[in-house]
Homo-oligomer: A and B are copies of this chain.
């Protein structure tokens, strides 16, 4: 029996899905046992040049050609963004079609509503491609690791940022020139804002945390800072101390609550996550029985994302996805998350100040830190050369984030401190 599929959107990912469904029908049937047929593709602009492997008669600009076609059983949403993706996805669900989506932005903001609607309509939502591209991380969290109480999810989930940070680390380039190079190589968008500010990572974190902890994640409560303020000087100091800088998305259990944060993070060089380079993604999960597992692969790109989307299509066609969606509490019967505020999150911290090379500065700085219970684990200060201001690097022992940000604000107001003190959190590998 053939399962008919409608595609909403035909950008990089949509075109890759369409091409695989059309040209690799035999391979997919052999591998999955399913006969899958792409019936229509919704596009916005009929005038655009399209992949010549996709027959022109599949394209339509009318959503109804897909949403009102009773033969189409599975709708794949690869438009991205919130609207019109949301309206069309809700219509698909309500008409009983099974929804496969790669849209992390939509799910992070409106996942609860969409999942509820799907449960009510007896439909299902599959979203493997929304996080980690080709990496089967949704599968791992909802199935492979289902027996575990999850303590921590830590991911490099944005390939653009990882590419830029890897380039900065390996070549000593500045942020601006690494970004320009990433754009030239196609690893960063012409407008990279959503990536470099950490927004895209936060979308993915919202989805991963909801699965790991079985909770609704209030997206706006995720603490987010990006890589756009990272100075190559700090990457060098980090290396000197044994760390590599990565933009990490972290969800962690703290007592009865969870903390949720995206920020540049120093990772010990020996940790596998420190060795994830270029545009690759990797997600580490710590479960109470499994211990740590790490899931690594291409987090973006047409074909890697299509790999995940087609896996979802197969499970939808096979009937396993609807069965799972109906029964798995992580998907539709989530409790409200208790979010631990950022100022209560405890970690080690890297601070780099530009300090006037005169007596008494270190005494004042250590006074401010000590008063807030922040103790020093390591310190680096090289001799001054041309400048009267020298970088002073402090690595702290574990301390609450709020105490450190308060201390940094105070330090920034000292006479003899130039420019903004850099503050990078440090993560320790799980035991």
Tell me the A residues contacting B by CB distance below 8 Å: 16, 20, 24, 27-28, 30-34, 128, 134-136, 139-140, 143-149, 214, 270, 272, 275-276, 282, 287-298, 301, 303-304, 306-308, 310-311, 314-315, 318-320, 323-324, 327-330, 333
Contacts and interface: CB of A to CB of B under 8 A. Distances in A.
Nearest to A139: B144
Contacts of A304: 289-291
A74 B324 CA distance: 18
Nearest to A333: B33
Contacts of A24: 147
B275 A307 contact: no
B139 A143 contact: yes
Given A27-B149, A134-B145, A289-B307, 17 more contacts: A28-B147, A30-B214, A33-B333, A135-B144, A135-B293, A136-B143, A139-B139, A139-B144, A146-B314, A147-B310, A272-B275, A272-B276, A275-B275, A290-B298, A291-B298, A320-B320, A323-B323
A276 to B, nearest CB: 8
A145 B320 CA distance: 16
A86 B288 CA distance: 31
A24 B146 CA distance: 12
Contacts of A324: 318, 320
Copies in the complex: 2
Contacts of A289: 16, 20, 134, 303-304, 306-307, 310
A288 B128 CA distance: 18
Contacts of A298: 290-293
Nearest to A272: B275
Nearest to A321: B320
B323 A318 contact: yes
Contacts of A147: 20, 24, 28, 31-32, 306-307, 310-311, 314
Nearest to A30: B329
A294 B296 contact: yes
A31 B146 contact: yes
A237 to B, nearest CB: 23
Given A290-B307, A311-B146, A323 B327 contact: no
Contacts of A327: 33-34, 318
A135 B135 CA distance: 13
B307 A145 contact: yes
